Structure 1
Amino acid sequence: MSNTSNFRDAIREAQGQNLIGPNVIANALPFVGGGLVLTAVGTYGGLGVIESFPNLFFPTFFVAIALNFILFFVARNIAEQGNNSVALPLLALYSLLSGYTLSGLVYLALRTQGVGGQGIEIAALGCGITFVFARSVGSNLSDQDGMALTKTMGLGMVALLVVVFGELIFSLFGIYTPSWLEIAISALGVLLFVGAAVVDFYILPRTYKDEQYIPAALSMYLTYINLFIFILRLLIAINSRD
């Protein structure tokens, strides 16, 4: 999905347009796969830091988040200008750092009874199945249905950001988050990012030309990673109930 600051612009550009990049999805998929491999490497490295240097992990975790935020906007802007030779190494670094920031959640999943490595595999498999399904559905949506779904998902994403931010504030102040609320938030995230995957395959060929596969790959990568996060969060929340 267009998980970017110009989401509304992307909707306006896509609305009523014919396909301008019929092959952009196919061109982007290898880079999505490469980004996911690098994310796995970053996660493995983060787990190693947690195990060997736990006191070092949290400071580096927050540095990685800050760098990731900056890299996202820089790399996306460069990619949308068509400078793929510069954008690619930045996106590779972004993928590695994303994996590092994911390692804390993965470590928690590995230590949660009933989740473990099998839960991580389920989350990854669920993402893959979703994308196969989403490509078939999203590619065949009419303009009316596609735009309606896109606008609905945009509103849903705003609501999700609000509740997740609120949950983060509560946790920072030591306020306990009930397990049912965590389950509800995670389930909402899964539902929204399943819809976002469908939107990706509708809106990206109407927004990007075939040669603009890097920004398209970044959009799909973000949808996949966020779906993985919320599936894993849901599994952890369900298995952590008292």
Structure 2
Amino acid sequence: MKIALLGYGKMGHVIERIALERGHEIVLKKDENNTYDGLSNADVAIDFSIPTVAVDNISSCFHANVPVISGTTGWLEHYDDMVALCTEKKGAFISSSNFSLGVNLFFELNDYLAQMMSKFNSYTVEMEEIHHTQKLDAPSGTAISLAKGVIENSSYTDWTLDKPLDNQIHIEAVRTENIPGTHTVTYNSDVDSIEIKHTAHNRDGFALGAVIAAEWIVGKHGVFTMKDVLK
């Protein structure tokens, strides 16, 4: 499989290593200094760039008839536009806040726990996410996905980084050196606390999941999620 890497930072380098280990070929390594030359030769593109260029990367893939996997966060106000363009161009697209297989299992656990806890009004929920200082967006896309999972299965209606109102989930975003990603969801009451936590030890899990998604999407048309890949 021929892969275009759109974004060649730390994650791009890890994705390259894992893709090569799995027998794939890299035909484009795009950072801010080079062009899309070679994109049309790719079977699939993997975008781990930055919020300000993600939309250009994704739309360029659709125009080049190249399926695209995007793990960039912080640009999702344009997500519906990209879905519409994907449909118009009969493309293939997966955007996820986190491609780690472990995190996607954690999403399922979070949804299930939220359903259980919604029956017990004595508990309130809060979240914490910890990432390296190079991460540009806060809270993380993964934390937002976790919050949405709780909101869809409870009476909460929103999340906030500030002091929460009664119907809001507070997310604490922490930035420190050399932390790939830690996410904690805690339910607190006066008598006890229930906590679920996912800790990434390195970037390999995110990269492997993205490559697996890229392998899965080749030959397909439509907008998919990691749930489709895992099934």
Q: What TM-score, normalized by structure 1, do the two folds share?
A: 0.23
Higher relative contact order (CA 8 A, sep 6+): 1
Which structure's residues are more often strand, by fraction?
A: 2
Q: What TM-score, normalized by structure 2, do the two folds share?
A: 0.23
